A and B are shown apart, each in its own frame.
Chain A
Amino acid sequence: MSTTTRATERAEQAAPAFELRGITKRFPGVVANRDIDLTVRAGTVHAIVGENGAGKSTLMKTLYGMHKPDEGTIRINGEQVTLNSPSDAIARGVGMVHQHFMLADNLTVLENVVLGAEKLYGIGGRARKKIVELARKFGMRLDPDRLVEDLGVGDRQRVEILKVLYRGAKIIILDEPTAVLVPQEVEELFGNLRELKREGLTVLFISHKLDEVLSISDTITVIRRGTTVQDGIDPAAVNARELAQLMVGSELPVPELRESTVTDRAVLEIRNLTVRDATGRPVVDDVTLTIHAGEILGIAGVEGNGQAELVEAIMGMRAPDSGTVALDGADITGWETRRRRERGVGFIPEDRHRHGLLLESSLWENRVLGHQTRKPNVKGPWIDRAGARRDTERIVRDYDVRTPGIDVSAAALSGGNQQKLIVGREMSGEPKFLIAAHPTRGVDVGAQAAIWDHLRDARAEGLAVLLISADLDELIGMSDTLRVILRGRIVGEADPATVTPEELGSAMTGAQGAADRDREEGR
């Protein structure tokens, strides 16, 4: 506590680490950043929050010299600077840890850190000494000789941070650092960040996870639609909801279901499903689930606990090792993905770029994707261009996909509009069962509300939905039934009418499950 105070005092005396005034960055036809003002005090953790597409990444690229702003001034440690490239930024002690790691898997930690900075301390003993010293100083447990491919995500991130420190950074920019981490790893990361702060370094933390922002940062800046809404917010003075309102600029839509539409007709029945990974370890472990017509069943779990594998097994993209999947009474365990889709399985994938879209193809070709054996997209062995185009127009209209036309490529649309296109596509052809994996991840608030509406409408018409989401409010609000998955096993269920996000969160990490087990054993 006292260190924080001291750090704050020290920071207030010194010039700000970063000072941005009136930063404007235009791309042809779009203003990505407009009049951004930002003051980052030295020796603090400063968070920049905003929705996807609010202009966070553009701002970050400006700070790291990846492009030059059209207007405005940047001062680093009181001195006005022009950053022409990242190497200018590095020379001024600014380092960046990207969201997607840039590491060579087949090299060791030491080699990765030294790569590209061989001039600093050579590649031998001196470099090793420096790395060990840095790791100790900032409380990072890292063995310099381990191969990066053997490291977990949290350790990889530490290697990235170490790389930046090794190059002498005093100001570290972290782009969505927690997006890839599980809660325990987030805590460890925050421990590391506090160490950095204690040593007088400045951390610039970009995120849209408000709880995390509130817990780690000393100051918060909110940006919306490319401009600063409020700079220098004291995290003690706001709560997550107020921050969210600032980010969005309006009332937030609420995920909720009205009266129950659950019927007693089972649409999807999963019995004792087990999927093993390459090493034989079960990643989906003896899962049994039934989803009825008109029911949304939500799966709560920390990411990486078997949700993706469960989805792949249901879709037929991965063969289960044992167990059965039945759709409408028919055993579909051995069916190919295409046959399942033809029988009425819709799929909103977790990663829309990897599994949901052909980014370089036109919207109407993306309408055909996943439905390339069904009307109105095909006539016999031929693609029915006219039919597919007509139906794409319908989706664009009904699902409010903002696009100038259906001949543009999917990559040209914003994430929210891409997602609306996918939702529209998967809802067509009268699906009986829909997998919705993180259906509103990375989409703006308007699109989020629209997607929830579509899910509610489809549910009312008797669709069975498997909902997987990391957004606990969405999960609780949109589910009729909730199951908790942990290490591939269904470890509990919750009543969405009564459960709180906190209770669900602790069940997801196994805290409550352990308590249950203790109770059972005690009996």
Chain B
Amino acid sequence: MNRLKTSPLALTLLAALAALVFSIVITSIVLSISGFNPPSTFQAMVDYGTQPDSLVNIINKGTMYFLAAIAVAIGFRMNLFNIGVDGQYRMAAMLAAALGGAFALPPGLHQIVILLAAMAVGAAWAGIVGVLKVTRGVSEVISSIMLNFIATGIIAYLIQTDRLGYQPEGSDSIGTHPIAESGWIPGIPFPGAREGAEVYGLIVLAVIVGIAFHVVINRTRFGFDLRATGLSASAAVASGVNARRMVVTTMLISGATAGLIGMPELLGTAHSYSLQFPTGLGFLGIGIALLGRNHPVGITFAALLWAFLDESSQILDFNDIPKEIVAITQAAVLLSVVVVYEIVHRLGMRWQQQAVAAELAAGATKKAEVAS
């Protein structure tokens, strides 16, 4: 019965691989034109990217990319384009950091309060988008992009020393009050890595989120409604799905997940939301969700690939190669993968239709032969 599947797993993997090869070819061409030697460049990237220290960074970045992509994928599965994940996670990280830094709680409780606060802020910020969509018909793409800018403005306003901001003595960096040690989450040591380079403890949370995403989407009534809405909004409504409630609920869940994106770094190493806090993860998440086909396993690989490219590009500057070359690789992967997936999907559908027709025709002939 496997050949009747619309997009066989092997074909999907092949497609992803083809996209990767294509992007390497494109990158090689660009490198050659610019006068660099592609094989040695890639060699340098691989050598550097597989150092234990680099691997720790890749896993850590990958963890946050993964959470960002899952937050985006939740919306994508019902054709809801939450472009506002970026604003949602920054608002969540900033306010949760401020809350966590404001007072100390017993260990355990402290982290839970911060995590819940982050999820609540992310959900609230995304909820605005959902409510605007169902009450005023505002496209979620437009409103969520605008809310990203508003988030930037609000964060800049709040993070001043006379408000939530705090400037350590003798430092010109400004951030929220540091979270007391009772609110930290210790890292996991990595074999061979230098002292202090540890994998974020919250990688466990990312794994849980990934599993929960898969189970909820595929095994629950809610997930069925969500997927049905994504596949055919009109059929879902006719089947009894309340489209408005679905939009709001999905935005809330997507936003709550977005709220977790900054947590591994906040609770693991940064301990405060400062101007050095990573930005733009929400936008990376969109590409990674596409590359991973909105599937947790696919997203895991996509997130790690992205993190690898980002991390290993660090070495390029030492070799006088602009590390922006990696952006070309990433763009080529993304562009080709979108095209290739669509082709695979259509071919899969057509093959299946033909297989079904052939099987039925064979059955009919057999019946006719028996009859005669």
Contacts and interface: CB of A to CB of B under 8 A. Distances in A.
Contacts of B234: 354-355
A370 B240 contact: yes
Contacts of B6: 360, 409
A360 B231 contact: yes
B19 to A, nearest CB: 22
B220 A381 contact: yes
B4 A373 contact: no
Contact of B240 (A336, A356, A405): A336
A372 B353 contact: no
Contacts of A372: 221, 224-225, 228, 239-240
B220 A29 contact: no
A426 to B, nearest CB: 11
Contacts of A317: 237-238
Contacts of B228: 358, 361, 369, 372
A402 B235 contact: no
A494 to B, nearest CB: 29
Contacts of A402: 360, 363
Nearest to B223: A383
B222 interface: yes
Interface string B359-371: 1110100000000
A408 B239 contact: no
Contacts of A354: 232, 234-235
A512 interface: no
B116 to A, nearest CB: 22
Contact of B356 (A371, A383, A403): A403
Nearest to B362: A29
B238 A405 contact: no
Interface residues of B, number: 36
B5 interface: yes
Interface in B199-222: 219-222
A197 B352 CA distance: 43
B357 interface: yes
Nearest to A404: B359
A29 B355 contact: yes
Which one of A28, A340, A372, A382 has the greatest number of beta carbons of chain B within 10 Å?
A: A372
A48 to B, nearest CB: 22
Contact of A29 (B219, B237, B238, B358): B358
Size band of the interface chain A makes with B = 35 or more
B237 A404 contact: no
B161 interface: no
B231 A358 contact: yes
A457 interface: no
Interface string A251-273: 00000000000000000000000
Interface in A422-470: none
A337 B237 contact: yes
A357 interface: yes
B361 A29 contact: yes
Interface string B244-273: 000000000000000000000000000000
A359 interface: yes
B10 interface: no
A347 B321 CA distance: 64
A407 interface: yes
A354 to B, nearest CB: 5
Contacts of A95: none
Contacts of B358: 28-30
Contact of A28 (B223, B235, B354): B354
Contacts of B355: 29, 404, 412
Interface in A326-364: 336-342, 347, 349, 354-361
A291 interface: no
A334 B224 CA distance: 25
Contact of B220 (A382, A408, A411, A412): A382
A337 B359 CA distance: 38
A370 B238 contact: yes
B238 A349 contact: yes
B44 interface: no
B242 interface: yes
Contacts of B241: 337-338
A358 B77 CA distance: 14
Contact of B5 (A371, A382, A404, A407): A407
B357 A29 contact: yes
B9 interface: no
A378 interface: yes
B235 A356 contact: yes
B349 interface: yes
Interface in B275-301: none
A413 interface: yes
Nearest to B357: A30
A378 B221 contact: yes
B356 A368 contact: no
Interface string A362-388: 000100111111000010011101000
A409 B356 CA distance: 10
B349 A369 contact: no
A412 B356 contact: yes
Interface in B81-140: none
Given A354-B235, A360-B231, A338 B240 contact: yes
B33 interface: no
Contact of B1 (A339, A347, A405): A405
A315 interface: yes
B221 A370 contact: no
Given A358-B231, A359-B232, A381-B220, A412 B238 contact: no
B1 A356 contact: no
A342 B240 CA distance: 9
A365 B236 CA distance: 12
B219 to A, nearest CB: 6
Contacts of A337: 237-242
A354 B356 CA distance: 22
A407 B2 CA distance: 9
B354 A407 contact: no
A289 B356 CA distance: 43
A341 B240 contact: yes
Given A337-B237, A360-B231, A404-B4, A373 B221 contact: yes
B222 A381 contact: yes
B337 to A, nearest CB: 19
A412 B1 CA distance: 14
B349 A360 contact: yes
A382 B219 contact: yes
A412 B241 CA distance: 25
A175 to B, nearest CB: 21
Contacts of B240: 336-342, 370, 372-373
Contacts of B349: 360, 409, 411-412
A139 B76 CA distance: 50
Contact of A355 (B4, B224, B235): B235
A405 B4 CA distance: 9
A371 B238 CA distance: 11
Contacts of B237: 317, 337, 355
Nearest to A356: B235
B360 A404 contact: yes
Nearest to B232: A358
Given A317-B237, A369-B235, A336 B356 contact: no
11 contacts: A337-B242, A338-B239, A341-B239, A342-B240, A360-B349, A361-B227, A369-B236, A385-B219, A404-B359, A409-B6, A412-B357
Interface of B: 1, 4-6, 219-225, 227-228, 231-232, 234-242, 349, 352-361, 363
Given A355-B237, A359-B232, A383-B224, 18 more contacts: A27-B354, A28-B358, A29-B355, A29-B357, A29-B358, A30-B354, A317-B237, A336-B240, A354-B234, A356-B235, A359-B231, A369-B239, A372-B221, A372-B225, A373-B240, A409-B349, A412-B355, A412-B357
7 A-B pairs with the lowest CB-CB distances in the bound complex, closest first: A29-B358, A338-B240, A370-B239, A355-B238, A412-B356, A404-B359, A337-B240
